[in-house]
Amino acid sequence: MIIPNPHLTVGLVAPGKIGLPFAANLINDGYTVWGYRRSSMADFEAIGGRAASSPKEVAERADVIYTCVTSADALDDVIDGEQGLLAAGRSDLLVVDIGAMPLSRKESARDRLAAHGITMLDAPVSGTPPMVSERRGVVFGSGDADAFDSVRPALGALGSIVYTGEFGTGSKMKFVANTLVATHVAIAAEALALGTAMGLDPHVVVDTIKPSAASSVMFGVRAPMMAEGRFHPVSGTAASMIDVMDSIMATADEVGAAMPVLSVVYKICAEACAQDYGEVDIAAVIRVLESASAKTLTTGPDLVSAGG
C-alpha cells in the first residue's frame, strides 16, 4: 500500500483535463499543491489549490513538480522561458512529466534540466479525466529508480503504477499500449459496421463474438456501446487519442518504425472529430465507418509510411 506524504509540497504545471483531477486527489490526500497555467485558475483554486503566477514561482514553492502540458514546445517554455522553472535557480528540484510527446523532445528536456542539477522522470499517465478522478489511470514510470520511489505516493493519486526502467521506457510503453488500444477500437468498429451492413443484428454480433477468440478487451468494452449508439460515459475520446498518436507517429519516424495500420486509424479519428464526435467516447468512430466518408480513409500517400 502506498502511503501519501502530506508534508510534501508539490507543484503542478499545468492543471488541465488530466492535471485538475490529479490535483484534486493530491489535495484530498493532504498535499499542499501549487499550480500554474496561462488560463484562469479559478477551478484549481476552488478545489483547494494555490495559484502561482508562473512556473518559476511553482519552482520556488514546491519540492516536486509535475508537468502535464499539451506539447513539447509548451514544455520547453515551462523549463527555459523567462519565467520558467530554471529561472528559480534551484538545483534541488525533481520534475516529473506525466504527459505524452515525441521521446526525443522529452529527452532533450531531461538533458537541459540535468545540466542544472535537476532530475527529471518520465511518467506518462494513461487514462481519461474521469478515470484519473477515480484513481483508475495507469502510470508508466521511468527514470532514476530512487527518485521514482520518492514520488510513488503522489503518483498513486493518478491510479496504478508500473515502473518500466530507464528514462524514456515509460513513454515507449505508453506508445505501445495506445497503439493497441487505438487499433483495437477501430477494428471493433469496422467489424461491427460490417456485420450491420450485412444485415446482422449488432447486439447478436456482440453477444456472439465477445466470448470468442476473435474478441478483445476493447471489443468487450466498446462494441456494446457501438451497438447501442451510446457514447457516454466517456472513457477515452478520438480527440485525445489523436494527441497521443501525434507523439507515437513522431517517435516512430525517429526510430524508423512503419505504422501503416495506425496511420489509417489516425484518419478515422480525425474524421470522427470533423463529424463532431471528437469529445464523446471513442466508440463513436463507428459512425465514421458507417458513413460514405469511410471509403476515402484508406487512400493517401502516407498509408505505408511511419508518419500520419
pLDDT digits (tens, 9 = 90+) for 36-90: 999 999 999 999 999 999 999 999 999 899 999 989 999 999 999 999 999 999 9
Mention every residue, 6+ apart, whose C-beta is less than 8 A from residue 32. 8, 9, 10, 50
**pLDDT for position 16:** 87
Q: Which amino acid is at 78?
A: V
- Asked whether residue 305 carries a pLDDT value surpassing 60, the answer given is no
**pLDDT tens digits, residue range 205-232?**
999 999 999 999 999 999 999 999 999 9
Burial level of 256, CB count in 10 A (0-12/13-18/19+)? Answer: exposed
d(CA 131, CA 226): 20
Which domains, ranges and CATH numbers included, belong to the chain? 9-165 (3.40.50.720), 172-296 (1.10.1040.10)
Torsion from C-alpha of 77, 80, 83, 89, nearest 10 degrees:
150
Cβ atoms of residues 9 and 32 within 8 Å? yes
CA angle (168 as vertex; 129, 12 as ends), nearest 5: 40
**pLDDT for position 8:** 77
Mention every residue, 6+ apart, whose C-beta is less than 8 A from residue 63. 8, 9, 10, 92, 93, 94
- Asked whether residue 306 carries a pLDDT value surpassing 50, the answer given is no
Q: How far is CA 114 from CA 90, 105, 120, 122, in A?
A: 12, 14, 8, 13
**pLDDT tens digits, residue range 156-166?**
999 999 999 99
d(CA 159, CA 139): 7
d(CA 177, CA 154): 23
Q: Identify whether 102 is preceded by a cis peptide bond (ω within 30 of 0).
A: no
**pLDDT for position 235:** 83
Q: Which amino acid is at 26?
A: L
Q: Within a 10 A sphere around the Cβ of 238, how many other Cβ atoms?
A: 30
How confident is the model over 83-112, as a mean pLDDT?
96
Q: What is the pTM for the complete model shown?
A: 0.89
More confident of the two residues 143 and 5: 143
HEC-encoded secondary structure of the chain: CCCCCCCCEEEEECCCCCHHHHHHHHHHCCCEEEEECCCCCHHHHHCCCEECCCHHHHHHHCCEEEECCCCHHHHHHHHHCCCCHHHHCCCCCEEEECCCCCHHHHHHHHHHHHCCCCEEEECCEECCHHHHHCCCEEEEEECCHHHHHHHHHHHCCCEEEEEEECCCHHHHHHHHHHHHHHHHHHHHHHHHHHHHHCCCCHHHHHHHHCCCCCCCHHHHHHHHHHHHCCCCCCCCEHHHHHHHHHHHHHHHHHHCCCCHHHHHHHHHHHHHHHCCCCCCEHHHHHHHHCCHHHHHCCCCCCCCCCCC
Cβ atoms of residues 143 and 169 within 8 Å? no
